[in-house]
Amino acid sequence: MKHILSAGQFNKALIEKILESAGKMEKALSKGKVPQKLAGKIVACLFFEPSTRTRLSFETAALRLGGQVIDMENGSVSSSAFKGESISDTTKIVSGFADLIVMRHPQDGFAELAAAVSPVPVINAGDGGNQHPTQSLLDLYTIKKEAGRLRDLTFAMVGDLLYGRTIHSTLTMLSLYPGNKFIFVAPKQLKLPQKYKDLLKKRKNSFVETEDLAEGLKQADVVYMTRVQKERFSSKAEYEKLKLAYVFDKKALRQIKKSAVILHALPRVGEIAEEVDKDPRAAYFRQAKNGLYVRMALLEYALGM
């Protein structure tokens, strides 16, 4: 049994193993022949924050593999958390019912707190502004498929780099690969936390920080757009000021390379114009679909199959 808590626990060999297994899942699904390895297993989805893709793809993954799902969709108000129950107590209870827990929580570090008391694997489906490791694995799966490789790439990461947990975990995984360079495009209020810059320095990945979107766009092999994370702001006015700091539109399409790949973990709320969707370089809907294959692979991995 293995917990999946942060991108830092993955090395290249493990990433490759998960991506390979996800590829097999994609094939098996296309043939309609998925090994029912989760038959008799119950997956609990405990979500204390809104989700569309992550929760539904985890649930679909469990069902496709023959497992069953119990679900807490709106945990902050629908569960005993509302009455004040601690995350440790909730985890102790649910781990007595289910074989694996998928958890999303608004507070940083809560997946780790849950894992510390859980006799069954805990998968972090996003903890506050901290980490979102399963999103990162589907990001890497998509990059490999769309760009053909995971190394020697230039990434423009754009938007909310302070609170964007997908950025934090995805750059951590990408920094394992030689030759990867990063251009961080963010307003000064939403710059990447220092600890990630320290990691890149340690791993000798070069990076620059800028507020100029055009600078990032022209060099990027992969453009990774993000939503400004409204729910992490204490001031609504500050959010309103920053929410559309960068918009990727038709004009941006003319600035990027012919071979570039455009990613976004989604949901988007205006930072990618809909007019971009029909461009073949817009990969974000394919990216979301890849989440299913990767999460099927992760359920098997976490359960030690």
List the catalytic residues.
53-54, 83, 104, 132
Q: Is 217 within 8 Å of 252 (Cβ atoms)? A: yes
> Which residue's CB atom is positioned nearest to ligand NCD?
227
Least CB distance to ligand NCD at residue 51 (A): 6
Paired tokens of 143: 């990059």
Q: Output 134 or 205, the one with its CB closest to ligand NCD.
A: 134
Least CB distance to ligand NCD at residue 265 (A): 4
Report which residue type is found at 262: I
Paired tokens of 223: 């453009």
C-alpha–C-alpha distance, residues 228 and 219, integer Å:
23
Q: Output 91 or 166, the one with its CB closest to ligand NCD.
A: 166
Residue 182's nearest CA partner among 211, 219, 207, 145 is 207
Q: Output 161 or 266, the one with its CB closest to ligand NCD.
A: 266
**72: CB partners within 8 A, 6+ apart:** 44, 45, 46, 47, 78, 79
Least CB distance to ligand NCD at residue 33 (A): 28
Least CB distance to ligand NCD at residue 36 (A): 27
Q: Output 177 or 224, the one with its CB closest to ligand NCD.
A: 224
Least CB distance to ligand NCD at residue 255 (A): 23
C-alpha–C-alpha distance, residues 191 and 171, integer Å:
14
Give me the count of residues in the chain.
305
Binding site for ligand NCD (CB under 6 A): 53-54, 126, 132, 135, 165-166, 227, 265-267
What are the start-end ranges of the E strands in the chain?
42-47, 68-72, 100-105, 122-127, 154-158, 181-185, 207-210, 222-225, 261-264
Q: Is 44 within 8 Å of 72 (Cβ atoms)? A: yes
Least CB distance to ligand NCD at residue 52 (A): 8
* DSSP conformation letters of 96-134: TT-SEEEEEESSTTHHHHHHHH-SS-EEEEEETTTB-HH
Q: Output 64 or 264, the one with its CB closest to ligand NCD.
A: 264
CB 33: neighbour CB atoms within 10 A?
8
Q: Is 222 within 8 Å of 156 (Cβ atoms)? A: yes
